């Protein structure tokens, strides 16, 4: 699917609302990024974008990137080192399977939102909000693009 067609099919406002909802229950940060470039190795491209978006700058190294490459119909969900070791076995593959099933049905917004909310549930268990702490939004709540 062409980058523009994918973006037209995704309701960015719903995705941002899902990010805010997910982050309201945890101390972690979630970002969604869409590239218009064809990507042969989606994992490697996600790692580069993770660094470029400064996802490693969170205080607890608890950022998650949902990286989408619609031109080559690939995506990746990548967590920083603070999350990776604390995640339940099979968690990342379950998130990607849910997203992939919805994408196959052409339900692109639902797929991204489901991924964001599933990640948020895991993060709420791993990095719950602390009583009395004021959350600082360390990364923008937006669908970024290149």
Give 19-47 pLDDT, tens digit per residue.
Answer: 999 999 999 999 999 998 999 999 999 99
Tokens of 18: 């899902």
Domain boundaries, the chain: 3-129+136-145
For domain 3-129+136-145, the CATH architecture is Roll (3.10)
Residue 1 pLDDT class (50, 70, 90 cuts): low
- CA 106-110-112 angle, 5° bins: 100
Residues 67-99: tens digit of each pLDDT: 999 999 999 999 998 887 667 778 889 999 999
């Amino acid at each position: 699917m062409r980058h523009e067609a994918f973006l037209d099919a995704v309701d960015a406002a719903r995705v941002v609302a899902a990010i805010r909802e997910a982050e309201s229950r945890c101390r972690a940060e979630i970002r969604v990024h869409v590239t218009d470039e064809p990507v042969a190795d989606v994992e490697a491209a996600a790692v580069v974008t993770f660094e470029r978006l400064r996802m490693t700058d969170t205080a607890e190294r608890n950022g998650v990137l949902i990286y989408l490459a619609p031109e080559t119909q690939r995506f990746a969900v990548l967590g920083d080192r603070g999350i990776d070791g604390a995640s339940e076995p099979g968690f990342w593959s379950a998130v990607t399977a849910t997203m992939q099933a919805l994408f196959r049905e052409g339900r692109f917004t639902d797929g991204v939102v489901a991924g964001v909310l599933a990640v948020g549930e895991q993060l709420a268990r791993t990095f719950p909000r602390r009583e009395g702490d004021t959350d600082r939004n360390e990364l923008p709540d937006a669908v970024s693009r290149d």
